[in-house]
Amino acid sequence: MELIDLNHAVSEAETENNACCNGDSCVSGKGSGCDSCFSTSSSSSTTYSELWHACAGPLTCPPKKGNVVVYFPQGHLEQLAPSSPCLPIKVLNFDLPPQIFCRVVDVQLLANKENDDVYTQLILLPQQELVGLNLEGAELEELGSNDESNGVSPPRSTPHMFCKTLTASDTSTHGGFSVPRRAAEDCFPPLDYKQQRPSQELIAKDLHGVEWKFRHIYRGQPRRHLLTTGWSSFVSQKNLVSGDAVLFLRGEDGELRLGIRRAIRPRNVLPNLIAGNQSSDPSSLALVANALSTKSMFRVFYCPR
């Protein structure tokens, strides 16, 4: 079992109602405007999970439900320090051990509606019996093996997906998106090459379930696959620039999905209110201390590097 570095995370105590985030806003309650998410309890989001992992990058591997992870309070404070220069870096104020072993209760794969950056929400339950122990990786793997089948595993690689880094031409407001022929023929529905100008309308859903319509045409000298009508609007609304990458994925059901992977990923990809609450509340570790003392859950938002 791979231990996840929770130093690159922010946390808050688990409350009765889930946090519901929509772009720059985040409220507590059961509203319907949440960031797009996939929970390990869901059975209908295989394609979403594949796309999420593709957008997160090959080095991102969230823990599985039932795994044991290690939470470092000092690392949490150090992550808050850059945005809160006056924040005292003192874990002792909260009477917390230097490391807290926790079992993963739930995993949600999320995407920020404001910028499409992906992140993970982990619900953690402190394991009192492991506090103070110096366990090796093999022992931790054995501890977290019981519920391994219930977690979010990295999806199997699918042949029906391609990723292309955008060029200046791809992001031009007057141009289109040039698709390699092999990728187009594998991922998109087949074109009728008997037509003088083969074309079709493509509908692809992003991580939030929003449908984007593109005109797929095969033209030019030499001929090439292009996405024309609808592409400039997508580039503009997603604020894409040269160097960013776009991913297209066709699921087993034939549904087309698309996502983005930005060339420059911000240090904190969380919705602004979540990040703001963490950086402005020096006592956030008190919530973790309370979860530890009451044997209750707390949540961690983990951002891919």
| 141 Cβ contact partners less than 8 Å away, ≥ 6 residues apart | 1
3-state secondary structure of 192: coil
3-state secondary structure of 200: strand
Q: Are residues 23 and 147 located together in one domain of the fold? A: yes
Q: Length of the chain, please?
A: 305
Q: Are residues 107 and 183 located together in one domain of the fold? A: no
Q: Are residues 16 and 148 located together in one domain of the fold? A: yes
pLDDT at residue number 8 = 43
Asked whether residue 260 is domain-assigned, the answer is: no
pLDDT at residue number 277 = 52
Q: How sure is the predictor about 31, in pLDDT bands with cuts at 50, 70 and 90?
A: very low
Decide if 55 contacts 110 (C-beta within 8 A): no
Asked whether residue 120 is domain-assigned, the answer is: yes
- Determine the structural domain holding residue 70 and report its residue range: 9-157+267-302
Q: Answer whether residue 235 shows pLDDT above 50.
A: yes
C-alpha distances out from residue 140 to 2, 103, 133, 145, 187, Å = 9, 11, 11, 9, 40
Decide if 244 contacts 260 (C-beta within 8 A): yes
Decide if 302 contacts 4 (C-beta within 8 A): yes
Q: How sure is the predictor about 129, in pLDDT bands with cuts at 50, 70 and 90?
A: confident
pLDDT at residue number 39 = 43
pLDDT digits (tens, 9 = 90+) for 63-105: 999 999 999 888 877 766 555 555 555 555 677 888 899 999 9
pLDDT at residue number 24 = 28
| 163 phi and psi angles, rounded to 5 deg | -130, 130
Asked whether residue 292 is domain-assigned, the answer is: yes
pLDDT digits (tens, 9 = 90+) for 249-260: 998 888 999 999
Asked whether residue 2 is domain-assigned, the answer is: no
Q: Are residues 231 and 178 located together in one domain of the fold? A: yes
* 25-28 and 19-22 beta bridge pairing: antiparallel
Cα angle vertex 184, ends 213, 247, to 5°?
65
> Which of 36-50, 145-159, 172-186, 263-277 reaches the highest mean pLDDT?
172-186
Write out 229-250 in H/E/C secondary structure.
CCHHHHHHHCCCCECEEEEEEE
Mean pLDDT score of the chain, rounded to an integer? 76
Q: How sure is the predictor about 138, in pLDDT bands with cuts at 50, 70 and 90?
A: low
Name the residue type at position 117: D
Q: Are residues 96 and 215 located together in one domain of the fold? A: no
pLDDT at residue number 65 = 94
CATH number at residue 223: 2.40.330.10
Q: Above pLDDT 90, what percent of the chain?
A: 44
DSSP string for residues in 275-292: HHHHHH-TTHHHHHHHHH
Q: Are residues 153 and 166 located together in one domain of the fold? A: no
pLDDT digits (tens, 9 = 90+) for 140-194: 555 555 544 455 555 555 669 999 999 999 999 888 999 999 999 999 999 999 9
Q: Are residues 112 and 242 located together in one domain of the fold? A: no
Q: Are residues 216 and 146 located together in one domain of the fold? A: no
Decide if 209 contacts 36 (C-beta within 8 A): yes
Asked whether residue 129 is domain-assigned, the answer is: yes
Q: Please compute, for residue 305, the number of CA atoms within 13 A of its CA located in the half-sphere on the CB side.
A: 9
Q: How sure is the predictor about 19, in pLDDT bands with cuts at 50, 70 and 90?
A: very low
Q: Are residues 74 and 125 located together in one domain of the fold? A: yes
Nearest to 50 by CA among 178, 144, 187: 187
Asked whether residue 3 is domain-assigned, the answer is: no
The pTM for the full model equals 0.75
Mean pLDDT of 27-48: 48
pLDDT at residue number 91 = 56
pLDDT at residue number 33 = 38
Number of domains in the chain: 2
Q: Are residues 52 and 178 located together in one domain of the fold? A: no
Asked whether residue 294 is domain-assigned, the answer is: yes
Cα angle vertex 197, ends 179, 250, to 5°?
40
Cα angle vertex 247, ends 241, 250, to 5°?
155
Asked whether residue 256 is domain-assigned, the answer is: no
Q: Residue with structure tokens 């997906």? A: 161
Q: Are residues 59 and 186 located together in one domain of the fold? A: no
Q: Are residues 196 and 77 located together in one domain of the fold? A: no
Mean pLDDT of 126-143: 63
